[in-house]
């Protein structure tokens, strides 16, 4: 599973979650065991990323998430927003627009018109639905140097951030690893992303700091988050290696990471974005508790 990206994972997840959907019983199962170590401080608002549970109907996932105390299910398309809303949940981050998949993004000037047009149509809907964030991607390098890509990204983003500012919606560009999962992706290191945030110069453009991806690329997670906190608008989790559960089977210690985020006064959401290797709902419940600091 180390090389899985979101699209490739969907086929595998369908089988995993089909078995794991039995785990819906675990939501209220007093006999369930857990290795979670969270202190129960409630300082982190948590969300679940939809794509990790692609084999489970969204309505079922939303019902389970609500019972577990989650506030959001994210990376949803517009036709899915009302489903989670009916369960008293929000969508912390709207899914990408069609013209801006991971590999094709703002670093290509020739794509700006199409991406900006789609975002101009999307952002008012995001605002109307009460969704705080819209995800975007840099695109792959494909031979382009990082400085040119940064300038191109800034040029395109400056065309859409005024609308985002007027609506109060934050555009977040995700930091992804180019070592294992997303070969050649440009926004693959925090310093590059921070420079882009500075270049755009809008309070409504920030980074989506994916802890899994940045552990692979650069490590030093807590200090990086602390030093560049003002440039970060959202967080994702995931166990390293393999993007599996965030328990003691992997190398990161999430209670400490969550405490560092909470101590900075973070008021946004943390999205659980790991691929369950066993009963999906048991794993999700355990991860919620681990991050509850």
- State residue 5's pLDDT score: 52
- State residue 30's pLDDT score: 30
- State residue 22's pLDDT score: 36
Name the residue among 228, 223, 186, 212 with its Cα closest to residue 270: 212
217 pLDDT higher than 70: yes
Other beta carbons less than 10 A from residue 47's beta carbon: 28
- State residue 19's pLDDT score: 39
- State residue 54's pLDDT score: 87
pLDDT interval class at 165 (50, 70, 90):
very high
Give the tens place of pLDDT for each residue, 253-277.
Answer: 999 999 999 999 999 999 999 999 9
Spell out the domain ranges in the chain.
6-21+46-290
**Look-up of token digits 């600091």:** 293
* Interval 149-176 mean pLDDT: 98
CA distance linking residue 213 with residue 233, whole number of Å? 16
- CB-CB contact of 58 with 83 (8 Å): yes
152 pLDDT higher than 60: yes
- CB-CB contact of 257 with 41 (8 Å): no
CA distance linking residue 73 with residue 272, whole number of Å? 9
Give the tens place of pLDDT for each residue, 49-77.
Answer: 999 998 999 999 999 999 999 999 999 99
Tokens of 178: 């180019």
Name the residue among 228, 234, 278 with its Cα closest to residue 93: 234
Domain 6-21+46-290 grouped into CATH 3.20.20.150: yes
* Interval 120-126 mean pLDDT: 98
Name the residue among 17, 4, 11, 3 with its Cα closest to residue 48: 17
Total-model pTM: 0.88
Q: Residue 60: which residues within 8 A CB-CB, separation 6 or more?
A: 21, 24
């Amino acid at each position: 599973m180390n090389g899985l990206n979101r699209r490739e994972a969907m086929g595998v997840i369908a089988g995993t979650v089909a078995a794991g959907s039995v785990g819906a019983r675990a939501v209220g199962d007093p006999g369930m065991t857990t290795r979670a170590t969270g202190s129960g401080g409630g300082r982190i608002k948590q969300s679940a990323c939809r794509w990790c549970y692609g084999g489970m109907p969204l309505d079922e996932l939303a019902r389970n998430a609500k019972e577990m105390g989650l506030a959001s299910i994210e990376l949803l398309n517009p036709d899915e927003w009302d489903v989670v809303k009916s369960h008293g949940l929000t969508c912390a981050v709207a899914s990408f627009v069609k013209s801006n998949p991971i590999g094709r993004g703002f670093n290509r000037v020739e794509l700006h018109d199409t991406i900006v047009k789609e975002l101009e149509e999307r952002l008012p809907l995001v605002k109307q639905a009460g969704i705080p964030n819209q995800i975007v991607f840099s695109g792959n390098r494909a031979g382009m140097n990082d400085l040119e890509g940064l300038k191109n990204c800034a040029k395109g983003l400056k065309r859409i951030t005024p609308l985002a500012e007027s609506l109060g919606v934050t555009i977040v560009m995700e930091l992804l690893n180019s070592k294992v999962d997303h070969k050649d992706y440009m926004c693959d290191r925090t310093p590059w992303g921070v420079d882009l945030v500075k270049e755009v110069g809008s309070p409504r453009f920030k980074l989506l700091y994916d802890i899994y991806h940045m552990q692979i690329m650069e490590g030093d997670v807590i200090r990086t988050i602390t030093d560049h906190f003002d440039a970060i608008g959202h967080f994702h989790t995931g166990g390293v290696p393999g993007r599996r559960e965030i328990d003691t089977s992997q190398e990161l210690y999430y209670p400490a990471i969550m405490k560092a985020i909470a101590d900075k006064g973070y008021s946004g959401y943390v999205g659980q974005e790991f691929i369950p290797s066993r009963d999906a709902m048991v794993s999700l419940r355990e991860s919620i508790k681990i991050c509850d600091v």
